[in-house]
Amino acid sequence: MNKLINNNKQIDYRSSSKSPFKLLMHRMLKAPGQLAAIIIFAVLSNILFLLGPKLIGQAIDLLVVNQGTITNNFINLTLILISVYLLASTLNWLLGLLTSRISAKIITDLRSDIYNHIEELPLSYFDSVKYGSISSLISTDIDQVNDGLISGLPQLFSGLVSLVGSIYFMFSISWQVTLLILFLTPIIILVSRTISRSSYNMYSLEAEQRGILNGLAEETIAGHTLVRTLQADQQYIEQYRELNQELYRYGQKAQFYSSLTNPSTRLINATSYILCGALASYLALKGELTVGQVGSLLFYANQFSKPINEITEIITQLQAALASAGKIFEVLSIEPVPSEPSDMPNLKVNQGKIRFDQVYFSYDKDKPLIENLNVEIPGLSKIAIVGPTGAGKTTLVNLLMRFYDLDSGQISIDGQDITGVTRQSVRRSFGMVLQDVWLFKGTILENLSFANPQATRAEIEAVCKSIEADQFIRRLPHGYETIIGEDNVLSQGQQQLLTVARVMLQNPPMLILDEATSDIDTMTEMRVQKAFHEMMKGRTSFVIAHRLSTILDADLILVMQDGNIVEQGNFTSLMQTNTLFKSLYESQFSI
């Protein structure tokens, strides 16, 4: 699949000194113009909002001095006040619009980065995680970060400006009242910080548990037929209930801690507001403040506590967003498959002669699997790989396709070391039909042409006719335009026939058939085998088979056990002595 386009400069996610917040800020700084506009709009809109209470105080004093008479000065002051609030509201709207845009850009780039990065991760990563965790990362965690940024950024900028502006205007009226409010502020911050720290820990655990729960749900839904067949419904329901209950506990604790923040700060703010009013009234009685100034101070005292309350409210959302961002950046910090030099040559297949030379490989370094493997595969030959389950048959193919790197040794194709040519050219040289069917949601025509977009409709239909798939395709409601995928209308055998046709359309120089006909009935299998036989002509072909009757005509049979090739030869030679292959073959036909 094509990568999502992202022109952003690469960020070093592997630096341990960079927190999720710093990494998000780094992304914001890549749009300096919009960020500068956000800061300007936040400053101007909040200054205008803060100018309002002072103008209201002056208007009150005018009414007091003129004993309630509305003068021209009062009317002019009222018009100025209305204009100030209209302009402040307009700037505040622009602030919200810009923050929404920059947040959307960050999330778009982040979603593109995580998708592209996952495509570049080695297969060993997918062996160690559940697919549900990956889908949760791309969907739920990204959305969590999105929600936190969109709602949090405007309030964060506005809150900071409002705090500084309120202090300035209060000092311009009464330093005594201002100091009283500032004295109570550290108490609010201390309470908020203590609670938010506990809230962040719980949100991190909740995000992790959500991925585990999604993983179980996705696996259960994917295998729902087998689950019901084995009557394991109750078992999975109980397991899901336990995980869901644990998620509920983490979420409950996170919400509990976060819910403490706002009422706690509001209680302190209300107390400070009362003390501020009492002190301001006392100073007014002493003649140090006017009635209008008392009113302005009360406005500012309320305005001062408002951004603190808003900031403490968004702490919960920001903590949840940072917890999800931490999971995303953790995956982005995983070392991808090393990039290849731009001048690395492509693999050129002539005969398809393959050589394994002193190959060592293990998934777990403490548990050796393949040791000192040496074998030569003749070009343009049909190679069968057989052996008991877990012998390393599929692993051998994975190494050949460069899905995993060797611990040591060399694999060459027509004398070319596969590590000295591009991975893409190696994998493009093989056509694979696997036991596990993969079809995406789309039309049958789109699925068939996936490996060869240039294939014409006539070529596609000809291939389908050769394996007798054309008949059942035409019986579908919309023929080749029938959409398959989530609500599949095809049987397992029909799906596998489509994957066979897809590889035949690819027309690769080499083939790998991993139990390709395991889900097809005997009569259909005979027809497909004929199609395979024609397709294998002039190609090096590997056939991994458990049904040994399908590989009797193989030019070379490799018998694997415990990661090593213990026997090799054709069917006749392997059946002449007391071999493992002979034992496996006779066990399938014993009465």
Predicted confidence (pLDDT) per residue in 410-466, tens digit: 999 999 999 999 998 998 899 888 777 788 888 999 999 988 889 999 999 998 988
Q: With 90 as the cut, is the pLDDT of residue 106 above it?
A: no
Per-chain mean pLDDT for the chain: 81
pLDDT at 151: 62
pLDDT at 366: 79
pLDDT at 591: 44
Q: With 70 as the cut, is the pLDDT of residue 164 above it?
A: yes
Q: With 60 as the cut, is the pLDDT of residue 305 above it?
A: yes
Share of the chain above pLDDT 70, in %: 88
Q: With 80 as the cut, is the pLDDT of residue 356 above it?
A: yes
Query: Can you tell me whether residue 109 is helix, strand or coil?
Result: helix
Mean pLDDT of 242-264: 80
Instruction: Tell me the whole-structure pTM to 2 decimals.
Output: 0.63
Q: What are the backbone dihedrals phi and psi of residue 364, each rounded to the nearest 5 degrees, phi first?
A: -115, 120
Q: With 50 as the cut, is the pLDDT of residue 185 above it?
A: yes
Mean pLDDT of 168-187: 81
DSSP string of 409-457, one letter each residue: EEEEETTEEGGGS-HHHHHHTEEEE-SS----SEEHHHHHTSS-TT--H
What gap in Å lies between CA 41 and CA 93, rounded to an integer? Answer: 9
Let me know if 125 is exposed, middle or buried by CB neighbors in 10 A (0-12, 13-18, 19+): middle
Q: Among 549, 550, 569, which Cα is nearest to 559's? A: 569
pLDDT at 474: 92
The amino acid that residue 197 corresponds to is R
* 20-332 matches 352-429+511-519+545-591 in fold: no
pLDDT digit string, tens, across residues 120-155? 888 778 877 776 677 778 877 888 887 776 667 667
Most confident of 175-189, 197-211, 395-409: 395-409
Q: With 90 as the cut, is the pLDDT of residue 336 above it?
A: no
Domain ranges of the chain: 20-332, 352-429+511-519+545-591
Q: With 70 as the cut, is the pLDDT of residue 34 above it?
A: yes
pLDDT band at 85, cuts 50/70/90?
confident
Mean pLDDT of 204-208: 78
pLDDT at 422: 92
pLDDT band at 337, cuts 50/70/90?
confident
Q: With 90 as the cut, is the pLDDT of residue 354 above it?
A: yes
What gap in Å lies between CA 459 and CA 453, rounded to an integer? Answer: 11
pLDDT at 418: 93
Domain 352-429+511-519+545-591 belongs to what architecture?
3-Layer(aba) Sandwich (3.40)
What gap in Å lies between CA 145 and CA 320, rounded to an integer? Answer: 8
pLDDT at 421: 93
Mode of pairing for the β-strands spanning 510-514 and 430-433: parallel
Mean pLDDT of 310-326: 74
pLDDT at 309: 63
- 271 or 580: which carries more pLDDT confidence? 580
What gap in Å lies between CA 499 and CA 494, rounded to an integer? Answer: 9
Q: With 80 as the cut, is the pLDDT of residue 378 above it?
A: yes
Chain centroid to Cα 248, Å, comes to 23
- 516 or 482: which carries more pLDDT confidence? 482
Angle in degrees, 0-180, between the axes of helices 20-28 and 72-120, rounded to the nearest 10 = 110
**Tell me: domain 20-332, CATH 3.40.50.300, correct?**
no
Mode of pairing for the β-strands spanning 408-413 and 382-386: unpaired
What gap in Å lies between CA 280 and CA 293, rounded to an integer? Answer: 9
Q: Among 59, 52, 41, 61, which Cα is nearest to 83's? A: 52
pLDDT at 488: 63
Q: Which of 20-24, 27-31, 124-128, 307-311 has the lowest mean pLDDT?
A: 307-311
CB 563, CB 395: distance < 8 Å: yes
Q: With 80 as the cut, is the pLDDT of residue 68 above it?
A: no
Burial 496-532 (b: 16+ CB within 10 A, else e): bbbbbbbbbbbebbbbbbbbbbbbbeeebbebbbebb
Q: With 70 as the cut, is the pLDDT of residue 520 above it?
A: no
Q: How many residues appear in the chain?
A: 591
pLDDT at 8: 43
